[in-house]
Amino acid sequence: MTATIALIGHPVAHSISPRFQQAALDAAGVDAHYEAWDTTPEALPAAIERLRSGDVLGANVTVPHKVAALRLIERPDPLAELVGAVNTIWRERGLLHATNTDVAGVLHALADAGVTLAGEHVVLLGAGGAARAVVVALRRAGAASLTIANRTLPRAQALAELAGQGLPASVCELDPGSDALRGALMRAGLVIHSTPLGMRHGPDERATPLPADCFHRGQVAFDLVYVPERTPFLDATASAGARTVGGLAMLVHQGAESFRLWTGREPSLEVMFAAARAALDGAR
């Protein structure tokens, strides 16, 4: 019997995860079909219940359900509890287990780009759900300091608490006129963008949170947005002389971590990246 792996989110029709996950499953000889389940918030409990079916290996969870799904799982691991969100679910001995592979996705993507996080000063733009995994990744990798810039300071302050004692964190407004933000950007070796600005089909496809004159040569600019591969944020930072890292590597690496949990096998990253890029090319 062909097994099922689900992507639970709303909406999900635009996701390229089914393309690269199915390619990896086929390459590994796993008899499974990766399919998107468009799930409204009201339908989330029923979708999670479907994962208990004998032919389902597990699921990825994407926006807007990563936080809500955590409360519906019997065995979230300590990492999921720390982040406060799940993105991968699997069944084991009749119980649903969950973790957050976005943390590994961040670390692998930056490692692939040759970025060393230990001892680095980092500015994080945005304080939404994806930013929580970034903060945990920075904390684990030994970053020296973190400045969180967000339009609403209470949300940034709540995220700063997640950094804990091991990662000194400060907050400021996400405003190009903020002296505190510009000072932090001058010190930072790494700037991470976690807002939806510049995302295709997002709130403003042509926007970047800050203009080019906020950045400088020698910085690394990492955008979590992966569609398009070249975002307005990356264009702005590149024009200032920064080295850019797109979000596709994070997406693929977090998916590879999920694949290992569902199948117990090692996926082909080469196959995953090729299928993901082909999906992006087809969406243009």
Which candidate, 204, 247, 217, places its Cα nearest to that of 229? 247
Q: How many CA atoms lie within 13 A of 236 on its CB side?
A: 19
CA dist 187 and 235 (Å) reads 21
Based on the residue annotation, tell me whether 66 is a catalytic residue of this protein: yes
On whether the CB atoms of residues 250 and 15 are closer than 8 A, the answer is: no
Residue 42 per-residue DSSP state: G
**Paired tokens of 67:** 């936080």
Q: Is 98 exposed, middle or buried (0-12, 13-18, 19+ CB in 10 A)?
A: buried
- Report H helices in 29-128: 44-50, 66-70, 78-83, 102-112
> Which residue is catalytic, options 10, 66, 139, 253?
66
Residue 126 per-residue DSSP state: -
The H-or-E segment that residue 59 falls in is: strand 56-61
25: alpha, beta or left? (left if phi > 0; alpha if psi -120 to 50): alpha
On whether the CB atoms of residues 198 and 249 are closer than 8 A, the answer is: no
Query: Which residues are the active-site residues?
Result: 66
